[in-house]
Amino acid sequence: MKFALFSLATMATSASAGKYFHGHGYKQSSEPKEVIKTSLPKSSELPKELDFRSFGPSSRNYASAVRNQHIPNYCGGCYIFAATSALADRIRLARGDRSSQQVDLSPQVMLNCDTVGGDDGCHGGDPINVYSYIHDNGIPEETCQLYSATGHDVGNTCEGIDVCMDCAHGTGICSAVDESKFYTYGVEVRQGEFGLVNGTDAMMQELQRGPIACTVAVTEDFEDYTGGVFEDTTGTTEMDHSISLIGYGTDEDGTDYWLGRNSWGEYWGEMGFFKIVRGTNNLGIEANCQWAVPSAEDNESWGNKNVKSEEVAVRDPDRLPMYGGLRPSGYETVEEHVTSPLPHTYLTADDLPAAFDWRDVNGTNWVTWDKNQHIPQYCGSCWAQGVTSALSDRLNIMSGGQGPVVNLSPQVLINFNGGGTCEGGMPASAYRYIEQNGIPDQTCQVYQAADLGGRKGRDCDDLCLCETCSPNATSFSPGSCVAVEEPPLYYVSEHGSVKGADKMKAEIFARGPIGCGIAADDAFEAYTGGIYEEEKR
């Protein structure tokens, strides 16, 4: 399915115009702990520029996705996002050409559990404490615990269900996932190292091992940043916000800069990234940075603990109940919109490779992050998840892997009934909705596994499309939320259907992943690896 992307306008929100202050999420640890084992390269050996969005001989993107700490309500969790995103990048770097998927570590687990050195959930903390917690306890990835922008500071607990959970079809009951079924990264047995770094040269040295977290001051001009190399003229160094640095360089005017990633959404700055002058401690950025190194000794085993060899899993079904939320009946037939030749009309079976995987095309992974539609509560949104995942993958393929990874928002489709609800829906209707209306990325609307169209007793409005939240006069967190004006939207230029193995293979090979409906039963739900097969009667 070929599709076009259109960015309607540069972000212009009341929040970004200086009316709302996004700092106050960083609180320096009184007794920072470090574990340091490895020496760094000499300054004279460093490259003149570095960008982990385009790194190595194949210019691969090792930077994880931009996030938005401010939705679904305000949370001063910048210190967690800065630390976990930098560590996730380093895990991908450590995997190298063996990387088959993005790694998106769960900030929510840190909000629930991390109290090291006074870390206080949505009321702020220090990235070095986050690394200390991960060193001692480990951290799962996002499909275990989705971000809800609440923490132990408002009563969240740190039981098994608060680390990794799943919610059952039918009953809707949520329970903890057994520890044997999910991976935690950076646990104590791996003896990873972490520490502090400051000063231009030392930071550039540390960046050779991967992205780092840094603390900065926040000004109204920084909130209003839309692009270019930022330079603060107030001289403030009152650090109250954490970001991650993913590189450095020099612009065409000879200005040295740091390349950073913020956690204020893709509608801020340069698709969530920014440049700031290097070498003058602007906004205090060179005074206090943090890093962590995942040990390479267990890189080979990182992944799903349940993966088995490619044996065939077989079950003889009596009936096939629907698990995911696909509703083939009850929706009108959607007219296809096809304007270019379909791949099966110009590719024969002999043209197709015997095996093909978009997670590993000549060593490059093109697919976007994994999802869990069943948390924080059960929601039959497979129709929206499949559509947005496949389109996000195609966006990544379309961009050639250059620049930020875009993860489109399934929650927006649910909010506007753009193909269905949590009670099910149809992918064809979702594609038509995106063709006609466009859809933003997940930093506009985080997945909440709920039908939010009628929240607060009103029809869905611009707040359902893209929102940001900030402290108000009576509440630091959750604060209050406003709509983001004219966020970047993505459209499809064509959509249609395909069936039959040869036609499906041609479509996938030529243009990217596709969404498919399946009959999922208990056996498929219990799948742990290998080639799955249902026996035919």
Per-residue pLDDT of the chain (537 residues; tens, 9 = 90+): 444 433 322 222 333 333 444 556 666 665 666 666 666 666 668 999 999 998 888 788 889 999 999 999 999 999 999 999 999 999 988 887 555 567 899 999 999 999 999 999 999 999 999 999 998 899 999 999 999 999 999 999 999 999 999 998 878 899 999 998 888 886 333 456 899 999 999 999 999 999 999 999 999 999 999 999 999 999 999 999 999 999 999 999 999 999 999 999 999 999 999 999 999 999 999 999 999 988 654 454 444 443 333 333 333 333 333 445 665 545 567 889 999 999 999 999 899 999 999 988 887 888 988 899 999 999 999 999 999 999 999 999 998 877 688 999 999 999 999 999 999 999 999 999 999 999 999 999 999 999 987 554 446 788 999 999 999 988 888 899 999 999 999 999 999 999 999 999 999 999 999 999 888 888 888 888 899 988 765
Q: Closest Cα partner for 453 from 488, 479, 487, 419?
A: 419
Phi-psi group of 403: left, alpha or beta (phi > 0 → left; psi -120 to 50 → alpha; rest → beta): left
Helix (H, G, I), strand (E, B) or coil at 218: coil
Measured CA to CA, the distance from residue 524 to residue 527 in angstroms comes to: 5
Top CATH class, 312-534: alpha beta
The span from the CA of 243 to the CA of 205, in Å, is: 18
Sketch the domain layout of the chain as residue ranges. Answer: 312-534
3-state class of 435 per DSSP?
helix
Which of 134, 169, 122, 73 is CA-nearest to residue 375? 169
Nearest CA-CA partner of 408 in 438, 381, 435: 438
Let me know: does 278 contact 248? Beta carbons within 8 Å. yes
The 3-state DSSP class for residue 364 equals strand
pTM, entire model:
0.87
250 contacts: CB under 8 Å, gap ≥ 6: 48, 49, 256, 257
Active site residues: 78, 241, 262
Angle between helix 127-137 and 78-95 (nearest 10) = 50
